[in-house]
Every structure is written in C-alpha cells, then in structure tokens.
Amino acid sequence: MQEKSHESKWSVWVMIALFICLFIYGAVIIYVDPFFHYHAPIKGISYSLERDNERYQNWGILSHFSYDTIIIGTSLTENFKPSEWEALMGGTVVKTPLAGGTYKEMNDHLKRAFSSSNEIKMVIRALDIQCLIYDKDAMMENYVFPTYMTNDNLLDDVYYVFNKDVMKWSITALQNTAKGYPMTSFDEYANWMPETYYGKENVLLTYKLGEPETSERELTQEEILTIKENVRQNVTELIEAYPETTFYLFIPPYSICYWDEIVNKGELSYWLAAERVLVEELLKYSNIKLYSFENIFEVICNLDNYKDTVHYGEWINTEILQWMAEEQYLLTEENYMDYFKEMEEFLQVYDYTIFH
C-alpha cells in the first residue's frame, strides 16, 4: 500500500514538472514572439526577419507594427528598400512581400493592415499580370498555409506556442541579442540580391521555347469576367473602401525573354487584352496611381537587369520607387490606349531570334 502511495506521489511530481517545463517553454515563445503573433517587437531584442518565414511573420507585422505605408507584392517586391521610399515621400514603411502570392492573398493581408490601429496613407502594390486570370479565391498551390497564425481562434495557438521551429527562432533572436546584432531591417528583409547572378547567360538558362503557335489565342468573355471578379474583390474593393489612402499600383517589367515565350505561344494579344481589362477597372478610381514599367524597353531588353525571365535586380526596384515618386510612366484615361498600342507594336516586331 505504501509502495502504491509512493508511485502516486511520483506521478504527481512528474506531471507538475512537465507542466512547469511546458509553461516555461510557452512563456518564452509568447514573450519573445519571433513571428509577432501576439505583440510588436520588444525593444532590445534582435529579431530576425527571414524570407522563408514571410507567411509566418507578415501577418504579425501588419497587425502589430507602427507604420503608415505598406509595400506588398510577390517576389518582385522583395528587393525594395523601404528606406528609399521614406527618403522620397516620408512616412514609416513596412515591407510584407509574399513570394508566389495571388491577388487574394495580398488582399487578405491588406485587409488585416486596415483593421490594425494604423492610419494607412499609402500602399505600394505590385500587380503581376501572371495572376490576372485566377479565380478570385485562388491561393498559392501546393502550400500549406499557417492558418493558426491568421485566424482569431485561440485554441489552435497551441500550434504556435508549442512549436519547435518557433522556439528555434526565439532562441535565435536571443542569441543575436547577446551577440549585439541588430534586428533585421526592412531593407534587408527577404532581399535575395546577395545570392543571385544576373545577365544573359543566366536568363537564357531559365526558358525554352516549343514549336511556335500559328494561331493567336483570344481572351474569352468568361475569362474577362474572371479577371473582373478577381480585380474587384482583391484590388478595388479596398481602394473604394479607403478613399483617403493613396494606392500606388504597378505592373512589373518582365524581361523581353518573357515576352518571347508569350509570342511563341501565340498569346501576345491575349495577355495584352487581359491587362487592358485590369487597367480599365483600376482607372475608375481617383485614389490610385497606376504605373506600368513594361514599356521601358531599355530596361526589359537589357538582360543584365535580370536573373531569369521575370526577376530583376534591386537597382530596378530602386528605379521603380523613383519613377513612382516622380509620377513617371503613369497610366491615365488619356494615355493608356497609346500605351497598349506601343506595347503591341514593339513586341510584335522585336527580333527574338537573337536569343535562340
């Protein structure tokens, strides 16, 4: 009987010890909070913002940081330096890129930002034309989203509070603090410049052409409806809801080799028509500044600016901010038809064989 009592006490102490360990484990994560799920960065802790953690950190950044300007978009926005926009236009800028993100995912994050306590004056957003003809509710394929980070259900916070990877980044933050390292800046966050090679040789490795199509693909009425639904739900709904915010929207400059692929598939008119639907939807609103940098031919035809057919170097990101601040390459009701005419005429006659 005494032996059973001893075993019972031992079990109780083991349970108490286990509870204390779990409490300390969870308390460390909640206190440091490396993905800003509960609070803004604690002053003095050297948090690490990592490209691989975008979908874990960005929701918290938009929820808890102090800012009045947001830069958001796909991987084509990862090399932006918010400090450059602050120098040009003032304000406090956060960068929350979502590599491979759809219009819906961008919109979900922006809605989160507008629900925060911040007064948002400016939004800088890339509108990749590759994402145009997606269903309005489409999300990135083959990715398991950490919904426990973005919903308001406290019960599934256990996946965050007792997560070994979150603990790893908590420890990393504390180690970086002890070593005297600064917190990752938004200029550095997600920037892939240091690991990248540029130029014609690299670009030509990233695309191959099939047999050229002899017929031209046409945009269907169903696809036009899909584009309008996508744009209205995931772009213009917020523009209309927040007329006091200025939305700087831009169509990124894909390289001439990207357009080579499009022309080879007989899809030039198709994609320009799709882009025109986008532009016409956006130009209805007075609180947007819409830019396209696709017709800066000295940029898109210089493959030294690119690492593949789409991704350009950070010096182009710098130029884009400068162009937007100076309102260069702005699309308006008066000039957008000339823009599409110029694009079509140039891309139809360009000698793509120099790359073959």
Sort residue 334 into left (φ over 0), alpha (ψ -120 to 50) or beta. Answer: alpha
Residue 10 in any domain: the answer is no
The count of other CB atoms within 10 Å of the CB of residue 216 is 12
What does the chain come to in residues? 356
- 26 domain residue, yes or no: no
What is the Cα 97 distance to its own chain's centre? 3
Q: Is residue 166 part of a domain?
A: yes
Q: Where are the beta strands (DSSP E) in 196-323?
A: 246-251, 288-292
Q: Give CA–CA dist 251/128, Å, rounded.
A: 6
CB 173 within 8 A of CB 47: yes
Closest CA to 274 of 238, 223, 208, 310: 223
Give the other-Cβ count within 10 Å of 298's Cβ: 7
- Domain of 218? 33-355
Asked if residue 206 belongs to a domain, the reply is yes
pLDDT of residue 12: 67
Question: What pLDDT score does 14 carry?
Answer: 62
Query: Pairing state of beta strands 93-95 and 122-126?
Result: unpaired
For residue 87, give the amino acid letter.
Answer: A
Residue 188 DSSP one-character state: T
Q: Decide: helix, strand or coil at residue 94.
A: strand
- DSSP letter at 37 equals S
Contact between 199 and 301 (Cβ < 8 Å): no
Q: What is the pLDDT of residue 258?
A: 97
- Residue-by-residue pLDDT tens, the chain, 356 positions: 555 565 566 666 667 767 777 778 889 999 999 999 999 999 999 999 999 999 999 999 999 999 999 999 999 999 999 999 999 999 999 999 999 999 999 999 999 999 999 999 999 999 999 999 999 999 998 889 999 999 988 889 999 999 999 999 999 999 999 999 999 999 999 999 988 999 999 999 988 888 888 899 999 999 999 999 999 999 999 999 999 999 999 999 999 999 999 999 999 999 999 999 999 999 999 999 999 999 999 999 999 999 999 999 999 999 999 999 999 999 999 999 999 999 999 999 999 998 88
Q: How far from each other are the two terminal CA atoms of the chain, in whole angstroms?
A: 88
Cβ neighbours around 157 below 10 Å, total: 18
Residues 89 and 155: their CA atoms lie apart, in Å, by 42
Has residue 91 been placed in a domain? yes
The continuous run of DSSP H or E covering 324 comes out as helix 314-325
What is the C-alpha to C-alpha distance for residues 115 and 242, in angstroms, rounded to an integer?
12
Residue 92 lies in a domain: yes
- Residues 118, 181: Cα–Cα separation, whole Å: 28
Tell whether 41 is covered by a domain: yes
pLDDT at position 301 is 97
Predicted local distance difference test score (pLDDT) of residue 7: 59
Give the C-alpha separation, 337 to 110, whole Å: 30
**pTM for this predicted structure:** 0.94
Residue 282 covered by a domain: yes
**Residue with token string 């969870």:** 26
Q: Is 283 exposed, middle or buried (0-12, 13-18, 19+ CB in 10 A)?
A: middle
Alpha carbon distance 100, 128 (integer Å)? 10
C-alpha to C-alpha distance for 31 and 33, rounded to whole angstroms:
6
**Cβ contacts of residue 343 below 8 Å, gap of 6+?**
272, 294, 295
> What CATH number is associated with residue 203?
3.40.50.1110
Total structural domains in the chain? Answer: 1
Q: Are 338 and 276 in contact (CB under 8 A)?
A: no
Identify the CA nearest to 150 among candidates 107, 184, 102: 107
